[in-house]
Amino acid sequence: MAEMSGADILVQCLVDLGVEVVFGYPGGAVLPIYDVLYNHPKIKHVLVRHEQGATHMAEGYARSTGKPGVVLVTSGPGATNAITGITDALMDSIPMVVITGQVATHLIGSDAFQEADTVGLTRHCSKHNYLVKSPARLAHVVHEAFHIATTGRPGPVVIDIPKNVQVATAPFETPDVTNHASYRPQVKAPAADIAAAIEMIAKAERPIFYTGGGVINAGPEASASLRELVELTGAPVTSTLMGLGAFPASSLRWLGMLGMHGTYEANWAMNKADLIVCVGARFDDRVTGRLDAFSPDSKKIHIDIDRSSVNKTVMVDLPVIADAGSALADLVAAWKAAGHKAADLSEWWARIDGWRAVNSLKYPPDTTEIMPQHAIAELFAATRGKDVIITTEVGQHQMWAAQHFHFDEPNKWLTSGGLGTMGYGFPAAIGAQMGNPDSLVICVAGDASVQMNIQELGTAIQYRTPVKLFILNNEYMGMVRQWQELTYESRYSNSYSDSLPDFVKLAQAYGWTGIRIEGPQELEAGIRQMIETPGPVLVDCRVAKLSNCFPMIPSGAAHTEMLLDPSQVSGTMADEAKALV
């Protein structure tokens, strides 16, 4: 068998695994790999401006395409810069493979130039990681890494490759890694669990589906099965921030997002339900609010591929360990086979309609300033009929986008939920655009968040990715300011965005088109111009500076203690609530 260098083996494996794009940044410890990538016919390398940018691009690519995102960075600072994105992918279950260079094996442990203990640093923020000490192991590890990243509960896998392993040679053979000795996620639910779930759903008088990112992870078929199951049962659906789009927001069965900034109807329905069917969601604290007051009278079914998500914060009556797509398809089939008809839920729906009538997402009209909610609503209206992908940064704008931009399809909404990483959204948009060249990809950003990876303006220009960067500029870290208003009597400690750049000039300096929207009368035309202008466009949309995001369940409060507007804000909070994030 012909021998190949480690670097050649790595790149050959990537080709064999169907990788088309690698997001990366070179350095001494990955030069052999970069040499193999030089003018490579199959693999496109996207040169980022900061390794964190590469990781979020890979996440955006992965979430919007369903394929794993691939990152290549050098040792030491390259690897440490990637850590935030690796952690982000772990928290949000994003399939990603991160290849890091390492100093030569004989130098490991000697504080060599640009040495960092990458495997040690990423052990608990990755799904799995490897230090590959021989080129003969490399093919197996790379294939196994992709298998682990993409199956079960998806997540980031790190492969640390010392430089001498990239140079040394070994025979190459394509390995088979599907039959792993210890890693075997359970995909199919036991038939008895499915039968039990069907009985509970059929008997329920006040059922609700609470769906999450797991349905997105499970692929478009899972969303299709969810729609069918909801149709069959006639039950209402709410979803987490991570699950938006799996069920169409345009459906009458849709109650909107639940949780801290969810709708009144979604949270009240959760509180009063007699059955919660949780599919691929993890009872996050942003969702449950005060645990002892969380849906006190319901039975709970939890469908999740990861057993550790079950009974972690909320005890459930029926755990179903399975892939959401597989379990939902089984439920649909079992429901039909049992000859069940949708129960009469009219009384339940009447109550829900009562909560809906509160219209909890209403917001005041524009004055001289644009209301940020209005800007999102306008963006939504202006993009109808287009294939739109929305990414967000983190803060109020993220919540407003979740509330006022409505998704009918999965994989169109990319946001950092679990880690809440400012700096995610803009690179994620570039990554999504790479994977969906024909889509209209818009990042909804805040003036503070966008500065965390603003350097990627250069990447977008270099690769001609026509992303739109829509900044809701309120000159504050709005979300922080809002909490200070709620909790610390409006002492705005360090939440003012002082010394902001002129975003339009900044855009232009990078070769982007820059647009400023100053007031309500410019909003519609400005958004239209953004959409119609080819190439990357940055919009500095000046919005009301002091708007707050409602509805809101303050931390540590119950679903029924929701604040609907500023008049309900007292400005102080008990220490117990202050101690919660």
Partner 1 sequence: MHIDEELRERHVLSITVTNEAGILARIAGMFTARGYNIDSLTVADITADHQISRITIVTSGAPRTIDQIMAQLDRLVPVHKVVDLTENGPFVERELALVKVAGTGEHRIEAMRIADIFRAKVVDTTTESFVFEITGPTDKIDTFISLMRELGLVEVGRTGIVGMVRGKA
Ligand X SMILES: Cc1cc2nc3c(=O)[nH]c(=O)nc-3n(C[C@H](O)[C@H](O)[C@H](O)COP(=O)(O)OP(=O)(O)OC[C@H]3O[C@@H](n4cnc5c(N)ncnc54)[C@H](O)[C@@H]3O)c2cc1C
Ligand Y SMILES: Cc1ncc(C[n+]2csc(CCOP(=O)(O)OP(=O)(O)O)c2C)c(N)n1
Q: What angle do CA 159, 391, 253 make, to 5 degrees?
A: 115
Interatomic CA distance for residues 405 and 381, integer angstroms: 9
Return the sign of the alpha-carbon dihedral for residues 27, 33, 37, 38.
positive
Asked if residue 394 binds ligand X (CB under 6 A), the reply is yes
Helices vs. strands in the chain: H and E counts, helices first: 22, 20
Nearer to partner 1, 47 or 318 (CB): 318
Question: Among the candidate windows 199-207, 360-368, 416-424, 493-501, which touches ligand X by CB under 6 A?
Answer: 416-424
Nearer to ligand Y, 29 or 544 (CB): 544
Based on the residue annotation, tell me whether 113 is a catalytic residue of this protein: yes
Catalytic residue selected from 4, 12, 23, 51: 51
Nearer to partner 1, 129 or 233 (CB): 129
Question: Among the candidate windows 66-74, 248-256, 277-285, 493-501, which touches ligand X by CB under 6 A?
Answer: 277-285
445, 470 in Cβ contact below 8 A?
A: yes
Helix (H, G, I), strand (E, B) or coil at 71: strand
Distance of CA 179 to the CA centre of its chain: 29
Provide the pairing of β-strand 169-171 with 3-5: antiparallel
Interatomic CA distance for residues 480 and 117, integer angstroms: 34
Nearer to partner 1, 205 or 576 (CB): 576
Binder of residue 506, out of ligand Y, partner 1, ligand X, none (CB less than 5 to 8 A by kind):
none
- Tell which residue, 420, 531, 520, has the closest CA to residue 470: 531
Question: Which ranges of 339-497 would DSSP assign to H, the alpha helix?
Answer: 346-356, 372-382, 396-404, 425-435, 457-462, 478-487
Nearer to partner 1, 138 or 229 (CB): 138
DSSP per residue over 226-262, as a string? HHHHHHHH---EEE-GGGTTSS-TTSTTEEEE-STT-
Q: Give the interface with partner 1 as residue ranges (CB under 8 A).
A: 119-120, 123-124, 127-128, 131, 148, 153, 180-183, 306-308, 310-312, 315, 575-576, 579
Question: Among the candidate windows 137-145, 415-423, 437-445, 530-538, which touches ligand X by CB under 6 A?
Answer: 415-423
Asked if residue 149 binds ligand X (CB under 6 A), the reply is no
Q: 371 — phi, psi (to 5°)? A: -75, 130
Binder of residue 393, out of ligand Y, ligand X, partner 1, none (CB less than 5 to 8 A by kind):
ligand Y
Question: 425-435 and 51-65 are packed helices; what angle lies between their axes, rounded to 10 degrees?
Answer: 50
Asked if residue 94 binds ligand X (CB under 6 A), the reply is no
Binder of residue 477, out of ligand Y, partner 1, ligand X, none (CB less than 5 to 8 A by kind):
ligand Y
Binding mask of the shown chain, residues 337 to 376, with x at each position contacting ligand Y by CB under 6 A:
----------------------------------------
Distance of CA 312 to the CA centre of its chain: 21
Distance of CA 18 to the CA centre of its chain: 23
On the CB side of 301, how many CA atoms lie within 13 Å of its CA? 29
- Minimum separation from the CB atom of position 218 to ligand X (A): 4
Query: How many amino acids of this chain bind ligand X (CB under 6 A)?
Result: 37
- Minimum separation from the CB atom of position 134 to partner 1 (A): 12
Binder of residue 476, out of ligand X, partner 1, ligand Y, none (CB less than 5 to 8 A by kind):
ligand Y
Catalytic residue selected from 57, 59, 163, 470: 163
Binder of residue 310, out of ligand Y, partner 1, ligand X, none (CB less than 5 to 8 A by kind):
partner 1
- Minimum separation from the CB atom of position 312 to ligand X (A): 8
Q: 563 — phi, psi (to 5°)? A: -90, 130
Catalytic residue selected from 3, 113, 489, 578: 113
Q: 539 — phi, psi (to 5°)? A: -120, 120
Q: What angle do CA 10, 15, 20 make, to 5 degrees?
A: 115
Catalytic residue selected from 114, 186, 455, 462: 114
Name the burial class of residue 176, with classes exposed (0-12), middle (13-18) and buried (19+) by CB atoms within 10 angstroms of its CB. exposed
Cα first-last separation, the chain: 57
Asked if residue 282 binds ligand X (CB under 6 A), the reply is yes
Nearer to partner 1, 153 or 542 (CB): 153
- Minimum separation from the CB atom of position 285 to ligand X (A): 8
Binder of residue 449, out of ligand Y, partner 1, ligand X, none (CB less than 5 to 8 A by kind):
ligand Y
State which of positions 459-518 bind ligand Y (CB under 6 A). Answer: 472, 474, 476-480
Question: Among the candidate windows 192-200, 236-244, 515-523, 563-571, which touches ligand X by CB under 6 A?
Answer: 236-244
Based on the residue annotation, tell me whether 479 is a catalytic residue of this protein: yes
Question: 396-404 and 372-382 are packed helices; what angle lies between their axes, rounded to 10 degrees?
Answer: 40
Question: Which ranges of 66-134 would DSSP assign to H, the alpha helix?
Answer: 77-91, 118-122
Interatomic CA distance for residues 354 and 332, integer angstroms: 30
Tell me which of 227, 397, 412, 542 binds ligand Y, using CB under 6 A.
Answer: 397
Strand partners, 388: 440
- Tell which residue, 135, 134, 101, 136, has the closest CA to residue 119: 101
Binder of residue 396, out of ligand X, partner 1, ligand Y, none (CB less than 5 to 8 A by kind):
ligand Y
Based on the residue annotation, tell me whether 1 is a catalytic residue of this protein: no
Nearer to partner 1, 314 or 480 (CB): 314
- Minimum separation from the CB atom of position 348 to ligand X (A): 22
Asked if residue 68 binds ligand X (CB under 6 A), the reply is no
Q: Which residues bind ligand X (CB under 6 A)?
A: 92-93, 153, 212-214, 217-218, 240-243, 257-262, 280-282, 284, 286-287, 304-306, 309, 323-324, 394, 398-399, 417-418, 420, 479
Q: Which residues bind ligand Y (CB under 6 A)?
A: 393-397, 420-423, 446-449, 472, 474, 476-480
Give the residue numbers marked as catalytic.
51, 113-114, 163, 479
